[in-house]
């Protein structure tokens, strides 16, 4: 009995260091609890920051968006269409989220988001403001 717990302890110490390193590495993709993250559009016209409560699988929720132009000025009056899915699974979003402009300058809200499985997701925002149109791809790992 004593011998067994001794050997556990030795093993535990031996493995502790690589184990801790490994945990760090696995944590590298954005964790599911990401609250804020910023993404730049494909051609660099826009920068989008999204804020969300911790994302829970299968729960309908909203994101707050902050939209800026390349110089960091808030962009108002933009039309934003949402699409997305899981590229590895070749399927889209389970819902059809919609974006509305919110009160502050450059503030928008996406309603109706839901992610129905763990894995890597993409939310694609097609943004049109004035003469400019560009796509932002937000990636997240749940």
Partner 1 sequence: MALVALSVVLGVACSGTSDHHADVAPVWSESEIGLIQSLSLDALPPPPPSPGNAVADQPAARQLGERLFFDPRFSSNGEISCASCHQSALHFTDGKVLGQGVGTSARHTMSAVGAAYSPWQFWDGRRDSLWAQALAPLEDPVEHGGNRMFYVRLFSELPEYREPYATLFGPLPDFSDPAQFPEHASPLGKAEWQAAWQEMTPASRDRVNRVFANMGKAIAAYERTLLPQRTRFDDFARSLGQAGSQEGVILNPAEQRGLRLFISGGRCIECHNGPLFTNNEFHNTGVLPPEGERPDLGRSLGLGQVLADPFNCLGDYSDAAPQQCQELRFVRKGMTLIAAFRAPSLRNAAYTAPYMHKGQIADLAAVLDHYNRAEQAAIGHNEAEPLGLDAAQLRDLEAFLRTL
Cα-Cα-Cα-Cα dihedral sign, residues 134, 83, 114, 90? negative
Nearest CA-CA partner of 125 in 94, 93, 90, 88: 93
Could you say whether residue 33 binds partner 1 (CB under 8 A)?
no
Q: Which is nearer to partner 1, 70 or 114 (CB)?
A: 114
Shortest distance in whole angstroms from residue 72 CB to partner 1: 31
Could you say whether residue 4 binds partner 1 (CB under 8 A)?
yes
Selected binder of partner 1 within 6, 12, 42, 100 (CB under 8 A): 12
Q: Which is nearer to partner 1, 48 or 142 (CB)?
A: 142
Cα separation of 66 and 73, whole Å? 10
β-bridge pairing 36-40 and 46-51: antiparallel
Could you say whether residue 111 binds partner 1 (CB under 8 A)?
yes
Q: Write out the two tokens for 25.
A: 């590495």
Q: Which is nearer to partner 1, 17 or 131 (CB)?
A: 17
At residue 18, φ and ψ (nearest 5 deg) are: -60, -35
Selected binder of partner 1 within 54, 87, 104, 118 (CB under 8 A): 118
β-bridge pairing 98-101 and 46-51: unpaired
Cα separation of 51 and 28, whole Å? 19
Residues 58-97, one symbol each (x = binds partner 1 by CB under 8 A, - = not), give x-x----------------------------x-xxxxxxx
**List of residues contacting partner 1 (CB under 8 A):** 4, 8, 11-12, 15-16, 19-20, 23, 26, 57-58, 60, 89, 91-98, 111-112, 114, 116-119
């Amino acid at each position: 009995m004593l011998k067994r717990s001794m050997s556990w302890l030795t093993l535990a110490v031996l493995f502790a260091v690589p184990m801790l390193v490994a945990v760090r590495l696995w944590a590298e993709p954005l964790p599911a609890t990401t609250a804020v993250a910023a993404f730049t559009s494909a051609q660099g016209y826009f920068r989008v920051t999204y804020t969300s409560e911790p994302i829970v699988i299968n729960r309908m929720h909203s994101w707050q968006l902050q939209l800026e132009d390349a110089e960091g000025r808030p962009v108002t009056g933009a039309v934003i269409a949402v699409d997305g899915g899981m590229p590895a699974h070749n399927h889209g979003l389970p819902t059809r989220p919609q974006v509305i402009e919110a009160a502050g300058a450059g503030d928008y809200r996406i309603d109706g988001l839901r992610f129905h499985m763990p894995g890597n997701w993409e939310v694609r925002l097609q943004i049109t403001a004035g003469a400019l149109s560009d796509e932002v791809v937000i990636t997240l790992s749940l």
